[in-house]
């Protein structure tokens, strides 16, 4: 098969690595890709926002399947446009991608299909939103409705913070994404992520994986796209797993089908384990980054038939197998991230780092120049490792990190600490 992968981050490097291992693969391209992805795929300088150009490329190269990594092209309807041109693509159609593209859409779906979530209201003006916030009091959560690169959520612990968030969003801090605002009940409990592969009708859960959103150790500092991840997580017990499937994932898939907008792709649920049971606080419509990296390391099955089964509505008869080993990924980012950072610094020692047992290094934001690897983004490298336990995987990942010479980079030193603590207690 000829496959085209869209995206350029660590998630896409992990996907490229896994797709490249499939005996079904003839040729893999990635647009636009990065210096690490270039080891697995031929990188092509296609503008992913130009759907006609992507379609032309697929036709000219007899592409059998397109795999879409990030949410932006999904929300822009690339899967619909590819389908209209007769090209199979893994990922949700535009209407189904609203599960991530509009927080209000997801809240309304939850209320229509009785999916447990926090109480909420949708607003299109600051005056009514402020009145509601004042009536509810803090803590409360203020969310820009649309895609805001992970920055559109303010968990306000005081009324003042909530009022400021409402004002900021309606003043255009997130552009059109904040023209509508959702105000949501603050949910307290342990936050977990849950991933399921969906074919429009059926869903099968992926292995559990958890990221670390804050930039510094001990979960301090601002939110990021994710500074590391581990799999499996001790907090998704079989009971929690079954509750999330039965009360959240399957009703969502059934609801989307009933509405005539079936969801096909990876559904990524942000779930709070509250005293009243699991409650959904958000959906994403793609693999998490960096959660995908640990999932790909642990997936034993060939991923290409899984993508095809999801596209063809055949997951009912499908099964995914996983290695029992644990996986950890540590994100190395450019100093300054998630704020301003420099591009272009030189990274050395990658080959030595990759020699550590069980280690695999995925590139998230790199470029190659004259044989050297240069930093080319905020999140730059994903140093991943497998081990018999999370503790062993973590030790191997940091051993590899310590072999990388990159003075302009930094990482958290405590990735997977929750699972390591849980293993100590065993
Ligand atoms: P997001 O940018 O949508 O991933 O949300 C950022 C973070 O806000 C999440 O990871 C949660 O920790 C938190 N969050 C979102 N909604 C709620 C809620 N209703 N209650 C408490 N925390 C929330
Ligand atoms: N790791 C969080 C995300 O992919 O949105």
In this prediction, residues 40-56 reach a mean pLDDT of 97
Do 354 and 292 touch, CB atoms closer than 8 A? no
Higher per-residue pLDDT: 174 or 133? 133
pTM (two decimals): 0.96
* Ligand 1 center from residue 214 Cα (angstroms): 12
Ligand 1 pocket mutation pick from 133, 155, 177, 211 by most atoms within 8 angstroms of CB: 155
Given pLDDT bands bounded at 50, 70 and 90, which one contains residue 151?
A: confident
Q: Which residues lie across from 348 on neighbouring strands?
A: 405
Does 404 have pLDDT greater than 90? yes
Ligand nearest the Cα atom of residue 271: 1
> Which regions of 105-189 does DSSP assign to beta strands (E)?
120-123, 140-144, 153-156, 181-185
In this prediction, residues 261-286 reach a mean pLDDT of 97
Number of H helices, E strands in the chain: 15, 24
Ligand nearest the Cα atom of residue 150: 1
* Ligand 2 center from residue 224 Cα (angstroms): 9
Lowest mean pLDDT among 142-156, 195-209, 283-297, 330-344: 142-156
In this prediction, residues 311-323 reach a mean pLDDT of 96
Q: With CA atoms as reference, report the closest residue to 203 among 193, 194, 211.
A: 194
Q: Which CATH class is domain 190-317?
A: alpha beta
- pLDDT value of residue 174: 82
- pLDDT value of residue 179: 82
Ligand 2 pocket mutation pick from 74, 191, 288, 382 by most atoms within 8 angstroms of CB: 288
What architecture does CATH give domain 2-93?
A: 3-Layer(aba) Sandwich (3.40)
* Ligand 1 center from residue 132 Cα (angstroms): 19
In this prediction, residues 311-328 reach a mean pLDDT of 96
Given pLDDT bands bounded at 50, 70 and 90, which one contains residue 149?
A: confident
Question: In 3-state terms, what secondary structure has residue 248?
Answer: helix
Ligand 2 pocket mutation pick from 100, 150, 215 by most atoms within 8 angstroms of CB: 150
Q: What's the pLDDT tens digit per position in 81-123?
A: 999 999 999 999 999 999 999 999 999 999 999 999 999 999 9
Nearest CA residue ID for atom 19, ligand 1: 186
* Ligand 1 center from residue 153 Cα (angstroms): 7
- pLDDT value of residue 18: 98
**Domain 326-424, CATH among 3.30.420.40, 3.40.190.290, 3.90.600.10, 3.30.360.10:** 3.90.600.10
Mean pLDDT of the chain: 96
Lowest mean pLDDT among 51-65, 115-129, 146-160: 146-160
Given pLDDT bands bounded at 50, 70 and 90, which one contains residue 312?
A: very high
- pLDDT value of residue 202: 96
Q: Is 282 touching ligand 2 by the criterion CB < 6 Å? A: no
CATH number of 125-179: 3.30.1490.20
Which ligand 1 atom lies nearest to the CA of residue 223?
A: 6
Given pLDDT bands bounded at 50, 70 and 90, which one contains residue 172?
A: confident
Q: What percent of the chain has pLDDT over 70?
A: 100
Angle at 70 between CA 284 and CA 151, to 5 degrees: 60
Nearest CA residue ID for atom 11, ligand 1: 191
Task: Give first-to-last CA distance, the chain, whole Å.
Answer: 45
Q: Is 211 touching ligand 2 by the criterion CB < 6 Å? A: yes
> Which regions of 45-179 does DSSP assign to beta strands (E)?
65-68, 88-90, 120-123, 140-144, 153-156
Domain 2-93 matches domain 125-179 at the CATH topology level: no
Domain ranges of the chain: 2-93, 125-179, 190-317, 326-424
Does 35 have pLDDT greater than 80? yes
The DSSP-derived string for 69-88 is: -SHHHHHTTHHHHHHHTT-E
- pLDDT value of residue 416: 97
- pLDDT value of residue 221: 93
Nearest CA residue ID for atom 3, ligand 2: 288
Q: Is 387 touching ligand 1 by the criterion CB < 6 Å? A: no
- pLDDT value of residue 231: 97
Q: With CA atoms as reference, report the closest residue to 386 among 322, 326, 331.
A: 326
């Amino acid at each position: 098969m000829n496959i085209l992968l869209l995206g350029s981050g660590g998630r896409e490097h992990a996907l490229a690595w896994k797709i490249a291992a499939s005996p079904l693969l003839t040729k893999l391209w990635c647009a636009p890709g990065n210096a690490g992805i270039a080891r697995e795929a031929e990188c092509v300088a296609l503008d992913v926002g130009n759907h006609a150009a992507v379609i032309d490329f697929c036709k000219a190269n007899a592409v059998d399947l397109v795999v879409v990594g990030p949410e932006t092209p999904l929300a822009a309807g690339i899967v619909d446009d590819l389908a209209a041109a007769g090209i199979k693509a893994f990922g949700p159609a535009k209407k189904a991608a609203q599960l991530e593209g509009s927080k209000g859409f997801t809240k309304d779906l939850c209320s229509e299909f009785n999916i447990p979530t926090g109480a909420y209201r949708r607003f299109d003006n600051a005056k009514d939103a402020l009145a509601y916030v004042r009536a509810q009091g803090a803590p409360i959560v203020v969310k820009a409705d649309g895609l805001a690169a992970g920055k559109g959520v303010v968990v306000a612990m005081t009324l003042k913070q909530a009022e400021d968030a409402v004002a900021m969003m309606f003043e255009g801090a997130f552009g059109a994404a904040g023209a509508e605002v959702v105000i949501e009940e603050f949910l307290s409990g342990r936050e977990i992520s849950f991933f399921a592969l969906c074919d429009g009708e059926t869903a099968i859960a992926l292995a559990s994986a958890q990221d670390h959103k804050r930039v510094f150790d001990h979960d301090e500092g601002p939110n990021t796209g994710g500074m590391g991840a581990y799999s499996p997580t001790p907090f998704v017990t079989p009971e929690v797993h079954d509750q999330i499937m039965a009360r959240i994932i399957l009703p969502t898939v059934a609801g989307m089908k009933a509405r005539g907008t079936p969801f096909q792709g990876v559904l990524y649920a942000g779930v709070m384990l509250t005293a009243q049971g699991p409650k959904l606080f958000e959906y994403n419509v793609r693999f998490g980054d960096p959660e995908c990296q640990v999932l790909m390391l642990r997936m034993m099955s060939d991923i290409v038939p899984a993508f095809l089964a999801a596209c063809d509505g055949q997951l009912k008869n499908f099964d995914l197998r996983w290695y029992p080993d644990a996986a950890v990924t540590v994100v190395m980012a450019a100093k300054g991230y998630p704020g301003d950072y420099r591009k272009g610094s030189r990274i050395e020692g990658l080959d030595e780092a990759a020699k550590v047992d069980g280690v695999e290094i995925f590139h998230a934001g790199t470029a190659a120049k004259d044989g050297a690897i240069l930093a080319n983004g905020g999140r730059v490298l994903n140093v991943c490792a497998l081990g018999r336990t999370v503790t062993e995987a973590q030790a191997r990942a940091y051993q590899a990190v310590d072999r990388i010479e990159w003075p302009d980079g930094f990482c958290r030193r405590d990735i997977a600490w929750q699972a390591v603590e849980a293993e100590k207690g065993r």
